[in-house]
Amino acid sequence: MTFENLPIRQKLMAIVLGTSAVVLLIVCSTFLGYEFVTFRQSSVQQLSTLGEIIATNSTAALAFSNRDDATEVLAALAAEHHVVNACLYDKQGRLFVRYPSSSSEAAFPSAPGPDGYHFMAGHLVGFAPVTQVQGQRLGTLYIKSDLGALYDRLRLYGAIAILAIIGSSLVAFTLSRKLQQQISRPILSLAAAARAVSDRQDYSVRARRFGDDELGLLTAAFNEMLGRIEAQNLALQRAYDDLRQTQQAITQQERLRALGQMASGIAHDINNAISPASLYAESLLEREPNLSARTREYLTTIQRAIDDVAQTVSRLREFYRQREPQLILIPVNLNQMVEQVVELTRAHWEDMAQQRGVAISTQMDLSFAPALVLGVESEIREALTNLVFNAVDAMPEGGTLTLRTSLAPDRNTAGQAERAAFAGVEVSDTGVGMDEETKRRCLEPFFTTKGERGTGLGLAMVYGMMRRHDAKIEIDSAPGMGTTIRLLFPLPETAVGLPAGVGAGPLASSPLRVLVVDDDLVLLKSLTATLADEGHDVVPAQGGQAGIDAFLAAQASDRPFAVVITDLGMPNVDGRRVASAVKSVSPGTPVFMLTGWGQGMAAEGEVPQHVDLMLTKPPKLRQLREALASV
């Protein structure tokens, strides 16, 4: 492994140890060099002093050529271990005596060299003059010393230096081991954080900060950078999720819109196809007294089948139908609506649960503030009823059904000055839940997982209702986890007040003077009686002309009609002419048109002129009440 690839801890240790070792080496070698030089100088000094002493002591022996004395003087050198040998030359340069006396003559220079000392072949050699006091030269002393002392000393110093290097390296190692952490720890912590980020894409990790030095600043900057990346990542993820959700919602809307178009076309064609069959069956049954029992039975079966188809088509219509432009939305109290729906459906789910021998408990969690939205009460009620039925179906083993209302701020403007933007009503169950596929497709008409038991039109109708109310539908569900379906109605900009009577009871409206025009006497009678039961002052008129006459007469009197309900298809003077006659004298009087074709016409936006509201035949009491309540 190269130095670059070493872990930072080892790198730091290597740097510290290497540096201290090099420094010690330089210091030791400087000392050794110095010692070497000074020791050589002092060796020369010492030997020359010794030489001088010996030379002085040898003066007499040389002067008298006394070999014994001379030998004795040289023998004193025995005390100096490093003196290898020495000799004295006489005045003529001849070898006079040798030290040690046993050494051979060949070990000595044959003649004395110039005075002075010098190093030669690992030895220090020198020649010193032996002179008399008067300065007369008597001979020469030769002395040769080995450099053992120098080498001994150098060896000792070398050993000390090595020991010092080893010892100080150990100390440096121990110290640097401890101290390098000051640098390596923050770097390692940074490296660990960086690794966590790159390995796991985890931007929530933070490196630990150990101080305020440059590494501390680096750590702080790194952490801040991570924080920013994390925040940006989060924002990006949120934007992506929003985008995906929006994309899914748009795709779903597109699909449902296409389905709506298709359903509308099919419904139209089916209606056209079954109309003559229905009419003929009905007229045969009514007008042919001589039908055999079998024919009558067949015709009745045909008629029932046609009614079933018509019923399905009219439910399907709820899915794609647009909101009638002239429809006046009235304030609806969701809290009261929830209570009503629970009461209305109670029999159904209690029976169902009883049959299966299980228990379904209900909970109502109503918002403190009355959740008032603008809408068509009957449609909202029907939607909630559908949701309750679905919830009950989803709990074959029993469970809890919860209906909840709440006011919710707009999620898109969350954080800004908040005003509740939606009134929500949700139906939750603790049932089987939906898988992804079911959740995605449950709003489609005819999508059902209930086989023969379900038409798959319930949620499609809820969806149609929500679309007509510009409302949103949210579905939370997972297999085994129950289902919550939330309907979010946009709240009007200004709070709506609840008009007296509306919502308090089941759609009671104040008593009105009503003109009912129809050519069908049976219908006219039943309509008059029903509305009179509701507390209205009802005047029937059979046929268009009779209706116009009655209206004009009342207009001239002091008791004009508050509202006119007329049939569309009447011989001679039809509903359109009645409506235009009414509006020409009293444009403010509402005209409701009752028709068997109203559905198709309204769907295609063909509401006749002068008509305020289309009502379908057979008229539903609830629709009538609602219509009259809006007057």
Interacting residues with Mg ion (CB under 5 A): 390, 458
Q: How far is the CB of 449 from Mg ion (least distance, A)?
A: 10
At residue 400, φ and ψ (nearest 5 deg) are -120, 130
Q: How far is the CB of 426 from ligand ATP (least distance, A)?
A: 11
Q: How far is the CB of 301 from ligand ATP (least distance, A)?
A: 23
**150 vs 488 by CB, closer to ligand ATP:** 488
Q: Which does 318 bind (CB under 5 to 8 A by kind): Mg ion, ligand ATP, none?
A: none
Q: Is 391 in the site for ligand ATP (CB under 6 A)?
A: yes
* Contact pick of 432, 516, 548, 563 for ligand ATP (by CB under 6 A): 432
Strands (E), 136-186: 137-146
Q: Is 58 in the site for ligand ATP (CB under 6 A)?
A: no
Q: How far is the CB of 454 from Mg ion (least distance, A)?
A: 6
Q: Which does 448 bind (CB under 5 to 8 A by kind): Mg ion, ligand ATP, none?
A: ligand ATP
Q: Is 590 in the site for ligand ATP (CB under 6 A)?
A: no
Residues contacting ligand ATP: total by CB under 6 A? 23
Query: Could you write out the three-class secondary structure of 320-343?
Result: HCCCCCCCCCEEEEHHHHHHHHHH
For ligand ATP, what does the binding mask look like between residues 20 and 39, x meaning CB under 6 A? --------------------
**442 vs 565 by CB, closer to Mg ion:** 442
Contacts of 617 (CB under 8 A, 6+ apart): 523, 594, 595, 596, 598
Written as one letter, the residue type at 630 is S
Q: Is 455 in the site for ligand ATP (CB under 6 A)?
A: yes
**51 vs 458 by CB, closer to Mg ion:** 458
Tell me the residue nearest to Mg ion as measured from the CB. 458
Q: Which does 197 bind (CB under 5 to 8 A by kind): Mg ion, ligand ATP, none?
A: none
Q: How far is the CB of 394 from ligand ATP (least distance, A)?
A: 3
**390 vs 406 by CB, closer to ligand ATP:** 390
Q: Binders of ligand ATP among 96-155, rule CB under 6 A? A: none
Go through 512-536 and write b for each residue having 16 or more CB atoms within 10 A of its CB, e for each that does not: bebbbbbbbeebbeebbebbeebeb
CA-CA distance, 423 to 404, in Å (whole number)?
A: 11
Q: How far is the CB of 619 from ligand ATP (least distance, A)?
A: 24
CA-CA distance, 624 to 245, in Å (whole number)?
A: 41
Give the H/E segment covering residue 97: strand 95-99
Q: Which does 575 bind (CB under 5 to 8 A by kind): ligand ATP, Mg ion, none?
A: none
594-to-86, 231, 382, 591, 601 alpha-carbon distances in Å: 155, 61, 21, 10, 12
**66 vs 438 by CB, closer to ligand ATP:** 438
The residues that bridge with 424 in the sheet, in sequence order, are: 406, 488
**385 vs 405 by CB, closer to ligand ATP:** 385
Q: Which does 455 bind (CB under 5 to 8 A by kind): Mg ion, ligand ATP, none?
A: ligand ATP
Q: How far is the CB of 499 from ligand ATP (least distance, A)?
A: 33
Query: Could you write out the three-class secondary structure of 286-332?
Result: HHCCCCCHHHHHHHHHHHHHHHHHHHHHHHHHHHHCCCCCCCCCEEE
Q: Is 398 in the site for ligand ATP (CB under 6 A)?
A: no
Q: Map residue 252 onto helix, strand or coil.
A: helix
Q: How far is the CB of 448 from ligand ATP (least distance, A)?
A: 3
**324 vs 379 by CB, closer to ligand ATP:** 379
Q: Which does 434 bind (CB under 5 to 8 A by kind): ligand ATP, Mg ion, none?
A: ligand ATP
Go through 213-228 and write b for each residue having 16 or more CB atoms within 10 A of its CB, e for each that does not: eebeeebeebbeebee
Sheet holding 420-429, edge to edge: 360-365, 399-409, 420-429, 483-490, 472-477
**129 vs 456 by CB, closer to Mg ion:** 456
Joined tokens for residue 14: 């290597």
Q: Is the bond leading into 100 cis (omega within 30 degrees of zero)?
A: yes
Contacts of 203 (CB under 8 A, 6+ apart): 197, 226, 229, 230, 233
**264 vs 390 by CB, closer to Mg ion:** 390
Find the DSSP H helices in 64-147: 67-75
**331 vs 445 by CB, closer to Mg ion:** 445
Tell me the residue nearest to ligand ATP as measured from the CB. 458
Joined tokens for residue 142: 């030769």
At residue 493, φ and ψ (nearest 5 deg) are -55, -45
Of 474, 476, 466, 567, which is closest to residue 518 (Cα–Cα)? 567
179-to-3, 16, 48, 190, 616 alpha-carbon distances in Å: 20, 10, 55, 18, 92
Q: Which does 128 bind (CB under 5 to 8 A by kind): Mg ion, ligand ATP, none?
A: none
Q: Binders of ligand ATP among 458-517, rule CB under 6 A? A: 458-460, 483
Q: Stretches 175-183, 264-272, 351-359, 425-433: which one binds ligand ATP (CB under 6 A)?
A: 425-433
Q: Binders of ligand ATP among 331-390, rule CB under 6 A? A: 386, 390
Residues forming the site for ligand ATP (CB under 6 A): 386, 390-391, 394, 429, 431-434, 438, 442, 447-450, 454-460, 483
